[in-house]
Amino acid sequence: MIEKEYIVTASEGLHARPATALVRLAKNFTSVISICKGGKTVRLNSLLNLLSMGIKGGDVLTIRIEGGDELPAAEALDHFFEQLLK
Amino acid sequence: MKGIGVSPGIAIGRVLRIVRQKVATTGMLLSGDEAVRAEVDKYRAAINHSVEDIRSLITTQAGAAAPPGTPSPTAAADILETHIEMLTDPQLDTDILELIQVDKKNASDAVLEVTGRLAETFRNMEDPYLSARASDIEDIGQCLLKHLGGLTSSPEGSARARPDLPLIVVADDLVPSDVLAMDLHQIAGFALQAGAGTSHAAIIARLRGIPAVVACGTPLDKVEDNDILVLDGATGQLWINPGEAELTAFKQKKSSQAENARLLASLKDVPAVTVDGRRIRLLANISRVQDMEEVFRHGAEGVGLFRTEFLFMEKSSFPTEEEQFISYRDLAMASKGTPVTIRTLDIGGDKPLPYFKIPGEQNPFLGHRAIRISLDRKDIFLTQLKAILRASVFGRLKILVPMVSGLQELRAAKEILTTAKNELLQKGISFDKDIPFGIMIEVPSAAVIADLLAHEADFFSIGTNDLCQYTMAADRMNDNVSHLCDPYHPGVLRLISFVIRQARQNNIPVSLCGEMAADPLATLLLMGMGLEEFSMNAPSIPATKHIIVNNSLNQAGQVLSRVMELDNSSTITQYLQDINA
């Protein structure tokens, strides 16, 4: 299992467009990917669940990846957070 | 009547009401495994059809040219992609299937219940952006219901009684399949009771360039089939059965907008060069960073006037250096290497700030305002100058100071600029050391000594609105005297001409950023005076460019000579109208 922390630097938080991209990215991998914020955890395959977390700028997110393609998944998510949440 | 304009343009047409059966849960339960299986299949098919509907919108959009004045097509496609993702969301799927399979509810009831609950959850969220996503969820719920047969929409009333005008579709709300079934060529506009800027109907309208107003509420109920309806998709206003005169005025406005759009399309990428080869620069006046998109869309070559007042007005106290720096930096970066002139704070008795009390003045226009405040409150001015300087490494910024009346003020302002530069140098912060520092010419005393000021200012920007009212001693807000505030008065024209000549003789750039810059009557006259830089509201640029590319500098010179022979503003205006006709 790989676990990584990210800080949402975009002041507006996670809007629908990047959230849609994030869910679609996660779906490319067979690993189970989940996202946690303040004790709440959801699987990264549901846009509605992701949006309902109400992620704001400055929030600390933990991403957990478990499965056969953990490493490439982690790399892709790293890249996503670098690019989209700048 | 007023709603929210979501797709700009004026539409004039006869009402075609589309009514949709109101939906409520039926409470009908399924009996037997067979019925449950059939219902699950129906639900799956509805999902597939809804996704197909939205996909076909995305595809049609890819081929359609974006009409002027609309948000970027990619933004619309993004929303549609988000809707597909919501329709295929595993959580939504699990919840709906549970209601069908465990609680034996029919598919329509299950969809209504789950999307209703979800929309409610979102609506109650604190973040206004997320709260607005409730309408996206309702939108996909409507799509599903329509395909489940729980919703039928059909035109009310009979066939069109009078085919003299195109149709304006009036409905509660529309989903993609409603619109896909329509012949959009016959439709001049949409007026909807419900909806938001992100609803399917709004997106489709924007993609197709059809004016639309949403969220009109219950007043829309009183509109009947075949009524004449006029709507303005930019302002969200609606008029039911306007009178003959009003209708004619709307038609004129509509055709002039269409003409402008045509000009815009044909001239956007054409440089503003006269037939004899003189290059004129057309810049935009803006107040917010977000306006940059509009600047380029209308073919402006940069920003000739960025008013900083808005930055100060939207705060509850003076914005800090850091806050201002971020705004100016974003502006510089959005300008893509084009020049941006930032005007320092221009507030006063007529333009107050909520957190900065200016005692009541008998003559606010002649009172404590603009540079006069900046020089008294050096702290505010210094903060702003430092913020602009720091941002200057991100683009081609220039600083413009308003209301200068003489050399002492210019020198005092430049001293504060030097202080600002020194403070940044000490901290090792980089900035553009040669940032141009110019002044507005809007006080008559400054205009008259333009030759002296040109030795010490890096550039001039002529503010004709104030220059005109100060020269004419006539308040442009006072209805009894505002007619005197006429920029075509020979006195005002001589001043403007003098300022331009002095700037040119001293080799400093001069631009004009008042309303006169956008007045088609003034374009040739000002070019004749030697003006090569005009700054105006972005939407006026195509019309001005149209005049420039169809005339020569020689013609402009002739217009100037003729105007300078005339002795009053009404003959001057008449002459300019004649040559423009």
pLDDT by residue (tens digit) across A25-37?
A: 999 999 999 999 9
Binary contact (A12, B129; C-beta < 8 A):
yes
For chain B, list residues whose CB is within 8 angstroms of any CB belonging to chain A: 78-79, 81-82, 85-86, 89-92, 118, 121-122, 125-127, 129-130, 133, 136-137
From chain B, the residues in CB contact with A12 under 8 A are 129
Kindly state the percentage of chain B with pLDDT values over 70. 93
**Hey, where are the domains in chain B?**
22-151, 154-244, 279-580
pLDDT at B272: 94
Q: What is the dihedral of CA B31, B36, B42, B43, to 10 degrees?
A: 120
Percent of chain B scoring above 90 in pLDDT:
60
A2-84: what CATH class? alpha beta
In the predicted model, is pLDDT for residue B182 greater than 80? no
Distance from CA of B331 to the nearest CA of A (A): 17
- Range in B230-234, B396-400, B438-442, B477-481 with the lowest mean pLDDT: B477-481
Residue that wins the pLDDT comparison between B343 and B197: B343
Considering the domain B154-244, what is its CATH architecture? 3-Layer(bba) Sandwich (3.50)
Q: What is the pLDDT of residue B71?
A: 46
pLDDT at B50 over 80: yes
Q: Which residue of A has its CA nearest to B121?
A: A52
Alpha helices (H) along B148-189: 176-180
Residues in A closer than 8 angstroms to B91, CB to CB, are 46, 48-49
Q: Do B89 and A15 touch (CB under 8 A)?
A: no
Closest in A13, A45, A47 to B127, CB measured = A13
CA–CA distance, B425 with B390 (Å, rounded to integer): 11
Verify whether the Cβ–Cβ distance A15 to B129 is below 8 Å.
yes
Q: Could you tell me the pLDDT band of residue B64, with boundaries at 50, 70 and 90?
A: very low
* Mean pLDDT of all residues in B495-512: 98
**A47-81 pLDDT, tens digit each:** 999 999 988 888 899 999 999 999 999 999 988 88
Active site residue B216: no
Determine contact: A5 vs chain B, CB below 8 A: no
CB contact under 8 A, A48 and B127: no
Kindly report the average pLDDT of chain B as a whole number: 89
Q: Higher confidence at residue A78 or residue B126? A: A78
| Antiparallel, parallel or unpaired: β B510-512 and B460-462 | parallel
- B12 or B256, greater pLDDT: B12
Q: Which residues of B touch A23 (CB under 8 A)?
A: 85
Contacts of B125 in chain A (CB under 8 A): 52, 54
- Contact across the interface for B85 and A47, Cβ inside 8 Å: yes
In the numeric block, which tokens belong to residue B312? 């100060």
Residue pair B121/B24 in contact (Cβ under 8 Å)? The answer is no
Q: How far apart are CA A17 and CA A83, in angstroms?
A: 13
* A79 a catalytic residue: no
User: How many whole angstroms separate alpha carbon B7 and alpha carbon B76?
Assistant: 12
Q: Mark yes or no for CB contact A16/B82 under 8 Å.
A: yes
Across the interface, whether the CB atoms of A46 and B91 are under 8 A apart is answered yes
To the nearest whole angstrom, how far is the Cα of A86 from the nearest Cα of chain B?
Answer: 14
Residue B417's contacts (CB-CB under 8 Å, 6 or more residues apart) are: B385, B399, B437
The DSSP code for B488 is: T
Reply yes or no on whether the pLDDT at B394 is more than 50: yes
Banded pLDDT at B132 (limits 50, 70, 90): confident
> Phi and psi of B282, rounded to 5°?
-110, 120
Count Cβ–Cβ pairs < 8 Å, chain A vs chain B. Answer: 48
What pLDDT does residue B55 have? Answer: 87
Write out chain B residues lying below 8 Å of A27, CB-based.
none
Nearest CA in chain A to B133: A16
Task: Pull the structure tokens for residue B572.
Answer: 């001057």
Would you say residue B158 has pLDDT above 50? no
Q: In sequence order, which residues have a C-beta less than 8 Å from that of residue B99 and are 6 or more positions away?
A: B105, B109, B110, B113, B114
What mean pLDDT comes out for the span B87-101?
Answer: 95
User: Residue B428: is its pLDDT beyond 70?
Assistant: yes
Contact: B127, A46; criterion CB under 8 Å: no
pLDDT at B75: 65
pLDDT (mean) for B474-478: 82
Is B387's pLDDT higher than 70?
Answer: yes
Residue A63 pairs with which residues in a beta bridge? A4, A35
pLDDT reading at B67 higher than 50: no
Evaluate if residue B243 carries a pLDDT over 60.
Answer: yes
Kindly report the nearest CA distance between residue B94 and chain A, in angstroms. 11
Q: What percent of chain A has pLDDT over 90?
A: 55
CA distance A14 to chain B (A): 9
| Mean pLDDT across B490-511 | 98
Residue B60's pLDDT band, with cuts at 50, 70 and 90, is low
Q: Do A48 and B91 touch (CB under 8 A)?
A: yes
Marked catalytic residue, from A3, A7, A9, A15: A15
Q: Catalytic one among B485, B489, B513, B546? A: B513
Say which range, A52-66, B141-155, B233-247, has the weakest mean pLDDT.
Answer: B141-155
Beta-carbon separation of B122 and A51 below 8 A:
yes
Q: Which of B290-299, B435-444, B521-530 has the lowest mean pLDDT?
A: B290-299
| Confidence class for position B68, pLDDT limits 50, 70, 90 | very low
CATH code that applies to domain B279-580: 3.20.20.60
- In SS3 terms, B235-290 reads as CCEEEECCCHHHHHHHHHHHHHHHHHHHHHHHHCCCCCECCCCCECEEEEEECCHH
Diameter of chain A measured on Cα atoms:
34
CATH number of B22-151: 1.10.274.10
Averaged pLDDT, B36-46: 94
If 0-12 CB within 10 Å is exposed, 13-18 middle and 19+ buried, where does residue B106 land?
A: buried
> Is pLDDT at B126 greater than 90 in this prediction?
no
Is pLDDT of B248 > 80?
yes
Distance CA B499, CA B535 (A): 16
Which of B79, B81, B133 is nearest residue A51 as measured by Cβ atoms?
B133
In contact, B424 and B389? CB cutoff 8 Å: yes
CB count in 10 Å sphere of residue B248: 11
Mean pLDDT calculated for residue range B522-549: 93
Of A23, A48, A54, the CB nearest to B125: A54
Mean pLDDT for the stretch of residues A19-46 = 92
| Inter-chain residue contact A47 with B126, CB threshold 8 Å | no
- What does the pLDDT look like over B431-457, one tens digit per residue? 999 999 999 999 999 999 999 999 999
pLDDT computed for residue B149 by the predictor: 80
Which has more confidence, B206 or B535? Answer: B535
pLDDT at B66: 44
Enumerate residues 15 to 74 of chain A having a beta carbon within 8 A of any beta carbon in chain B: 15-17, 19-20, 23-24, 43, 45-49, 51-52, 54, 56
Q: What is the dihedral of CA B246, B249, B255, B260, to 10 degrees?
A: -130
- Asked if A20's CB is within 8 angstroms of B129's CB, the reply is no
Q: Where are the domains of chain A?
A: 2-84
CA gyration radius for chain A?
A: 12
| Dihedral in degrees, nearest 10, Cα atoms B102, B104, B106, B111 | -30
Most A CBs within 10 Å, among B124, B130, B139, B327, to test the A interface: B130
Choice between B253 and B489, residue whose per-residue pLDDT is larger? B489
Is the pLDDT reported for residue B528 higher than 90?
yes
Residue B61: the pLDDT is 55
Transcribe B390-450 into DSSP letters: HHGGGSEEEEEE----SHHHHHHHHHHHHHHHHHHHHTT----TT--EEEEE-SHHHHHTH
Name chain B contacts of A56, Cβ cutoff 8 Å.
127
Task: List, for residues B191-222, the tens digit of each pLDDT value.
Answer: 998 877 767 778 778 777 789 999 898 888 88
A33 to chain B: which residues are within 8 Å by CB? none
